[in-house]
Chains A and B, each alone.
Chain A
């Protein structure tokens, strides 16, 4: 595949908006929907995913000429699974509350298609510098969406943000927002708003 290299700045910036993993590519939606019932959980999941993405991309980019084509996916999965286990154990050892709140969704980062997708589409074809820019951009974009989504759901569903009560006693929490349907509603509206903005700007 012949592609003209993008300017370095664009390599980073594309993850934030133009190719945002959640809003545009809709990759890795399982954790996006499952754990964003509070801003804190969204941030923790975003950081854990970012860690795995950055480390895996680094290793895949370094080993891209060593791994034979036939077994590249197996290689990526071993690499990704190792870093996920590192992150899982790290949270269980140092942040037991967050680890309990995220439950099985940390080990499930292994099957997050955002991470495998970036290895296959980018890290395996590019040098370390570009890979870092790409992974960092994607990580920041992913984490920001998770924080915003978790924040909206926490404010409406619990009347607080990052566990700090924002709305007083008069506010009756919308229980549905911290239930699974709330994730679908909010994410749907966020994607619609992003598309609307892009269409308006494109005209």
Chain B
């Protein structure tokens, strides 16, 4: 009889817990989904030129967001997210590219765990008073006709070059590599199929 009490009491507690959780899930799940989409759209808006709507296409495990202008069928650019190893852990980026995949329109770091004060400058660099986001802004209008060149302590002079962050060369190179790999992958997917989009 003793074990019956144990079963009943644990069962009762679990039932109360399960009921509470399912009620609360009904309440919050739509809001959490809205937050996720909002964050995604913020990321897309930051890397693509001004667009009115976007279409989602999933090819080979990568989700591509094609941005379109108002009343126009021609896309203004394509955005996608990609992730790979940085200095200490995973770096995730949202990358925007022109529709012909030759020029970057913007890069945004979604998540990273790089060294605070050094590697975190790939997101924001408080020590640069003119442009806190100078590192990711370098990728705007970066031309992808050849491999991205990462320069140390030198201002870029050609359109395929970016400058590395002092003290965070590995983080800087990791971002550049993610961009070139992501674009190479996108080219494989989209350039072979001229009819899409």
Contacts and interface: CB of A to CB of B under 8 A. Distances in A.
B24 A66 contact: no
A168 to B, nearest CB: 13
A7 B172 CA distance: 61
B12 to A, nearest CB: 7
Contact of B31 (A68, A78, A79, A94): A94
A56 to B, nearest CB: 11
A78 B6 contact: no
A86 B35 contact: no
Contact of A75 (B13, B27, B35): B13
Interface of A: 59, 63, 66-68, 70-71, 74-75, 78-79, 81-82, 85-86, 89-90, 92-94, 96, 175, 178-179
Contacts of A66: 9, 12
Contact of B28 (A75, A79, A89): A89
Nearest to A87: B24
Contact of A68 (B9, B16, B32, B116): B9
9 contacts: A63-B13, A66-B12, A78-B14, A82-B17, A90-B24, A92-B35, A93-B28, A94-B31, A175-B116
B9 A75 contact: yes
B147 to A, nearest CB: 33
A93 B10 CA distance: 30
Interface of B: 2, 5-6, 9-10, 12-14, 16-17, 20-21, 24-25, 27-28, 31-32, 35, 38-39, 116-117
B32 A89 contact: yes
A71 B17 contact: no
A175 B117 contact: yes
Contacts, number: 57
Contacts of A67: 9, 13
The residue among A63, A67, A92, A93 with the most chain B CB atoms within 10 A of its own CB is A93
A171 to B, nearest CB: 12
B21 A82 contact: yes
Contacts of A93: 27-28, 31-32, 35
B10 A71 contact: yes
Given A66-B9, A68-B5, A78-B10, 14 more contacts: A68-B2, A68-B6, A68-B9, A71-B6, A74-B10, A75-B9, A79-B17, A82-B16, A85-B21, A85-B24, A92-B35, A93-B28, A93-B31, A93-B32
Given A68-B5, A178-B116, A179-B116, A78 B13 contact: yes
Nearest to B14: A78
B90 to A, nearest CB: 13
A70 B16 CA distance: 20
A92 B25 CA distance: 11
Contacts of B17: 78-79, 81-82
A77 to B, nearest CB: 10
Contacts of B20: 82, 86
Given A68-B9, A82-B17, A89 B116 contact: no
Given A68-B9, A75-B10, A92 B116 contact: no
